[in-house]
């Protein structure tokens, strides 16, 4: 969500683990790490995020639904999940058709397709253990009406979208989490860590995915 991204071009790239990603030339930003789209998503959001949640069901809020990769990988776990994905500028169908996540992850239930075929602003049961609500809106416009167990913060990086990485928005994220809730992101910038700590998070710097030294995980205490 920066300015109107509908005018931006999107092209498919192949990352180092063989999985596809999307590159936005005007922002000089990729939707995922060029060192491995699936590797990054699993490492950051599943292994160091979702797997640390003990709630049942787990209420997930994703800020930046994007290609739906994080939602797909979450759905493919054995956890009961209520998933709320925020996205202002959905990826075009012709781009989605070129992404190879289903073949790279043995998506036998066609979860990836179901995620993108379900309508916006409507609660949909994707599998018996995974329900999805896709919200088409700017991250900044989110009004918290319920709390969550974990937030996947997966917006474009601070260099491209600095307005999504400030303390004002992090205060909103803190309020959106239940006590002991988790905030997880691929970004490890010092200012991001300090702003998260400033609004109340207990922040850990963790080893990052391939090609990235660190990532951040915050806990609401």
SS3 string, 54-106, reads CCCCEEEEEECCCCCHHHHHHHCCCCCEEEEEECCCCCCHHHHCCCCHHHHHC
With pLDDT > 70 as the criterion, what percentage of the chain qualifies?
A: 97
> Do 66 and 86 meet the contact criterion of CB atoms below 8 Å apart?
no
Q: Is the pLDDT of residue 3 over 50?
A: no
Give me the mean pLDDT over the 181-202 stretch: 98
Q: What's residue 35's pLDDT?
A: 97
* Cβ-based neighbours of 89, under 8 Å, separated by 6 or more: 1, 4, 5, 6
Higher pLDDT: 2 or 137? It is 137
* pLDDT reported for residue 5: 47
Is residue 37 within 8 Å of residue 17, measured between CB atoms?
yes
In tens, the pLDDT along 76-134 reads: 999 999 999 999 999 999 999 999 999 999 999 999 999 999 999 999 999 999 999 99
Rounded Cα gap, residues 62 and 64, in angstroms: 6
> What sign has the CA pseudo-torsion 107, 111, 114, 116?
negative
pLDDT of amino acid 1: 37
Is the pLDDT assigned to residue 4 strictly greater than 60?
Answer: no
Laid out side by side, the sheet with 11-14 consists of 11-14, 20-24, 29-30
> What's residue 6's pLDDT?
52
pLDDT the model gives residue 143: 87
pLDDT band, very low/low/confident/very high, at 7 (cuts 50, 70, 90): low
Q: pLDDT over 90 for what percent of the chain? A: 92
pLDDT for 30: 95
Asked if residue 181 lies in contact with residue 147, where contact means CB atoms within 8 angstroms, the answer is yes
Q: What is the mean pLDDT of the chain?
A: 94
SS3 180: strand
Mean pLDDT, range 1-21, rounded to an integer: 78
192-211 pLDDT per residue, tens: 999 999 999 999 999 999 99
* Domains of the chain, first to last: 5-220 (3.40.50.150)
> What pTM was estimated for this model as a whole?
0.95
Does residue 178 have a cis peptide bond before it, meaning omega lies within 30 degrees of 0? no
2 confidence band (pLDDT: 50, 70, 90): very low
């Amino acid at each position: 969500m920066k300015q109107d991204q509908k005018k931006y071009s999107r092209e498919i790239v192949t990352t180092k683990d063989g999985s596809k990603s999307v590159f936005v030339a005007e922002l000089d930003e990729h939707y995922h790490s060029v060192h491995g789209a699936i590797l990054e998503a699993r490492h950051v959001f599943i292994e160091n995020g979702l797997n640390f949640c003990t709630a049942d069901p787990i209420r997930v809020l994703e800020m930046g639904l994007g290609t739906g990769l994080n939602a797909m990988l979450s759905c493919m776990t054995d956890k009961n999940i209520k998933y709320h994905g925020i996205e202002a500028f959905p990826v075009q169908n012709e781009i989605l058709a070129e992404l190879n996540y289903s073949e790279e992850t043995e998506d036998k239930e066609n979860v990836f397709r179901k995620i993108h075929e379900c309508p916006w602003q409507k609660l949909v049961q994707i599998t018996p253990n995974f329900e999805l609500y896709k919200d088409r809106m700017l991250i900044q416009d989110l009004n918290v009406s319920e709390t969550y167990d974990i937030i996947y913060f997966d917006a474009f990086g601070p260099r491209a979208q600095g307005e999504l990485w400030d303390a004002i928005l992090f205060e909103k994220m803190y309020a959106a989490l239940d006590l002991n809730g988790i905030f997880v992101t691929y970004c490890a910038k010092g200012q991001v860590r300090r702003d998260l700590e400033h609004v109340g998070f207990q922040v850990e710097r963790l080893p990052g995915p391939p090609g990235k030294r660190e990532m951040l995980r915050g806990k609401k205490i």
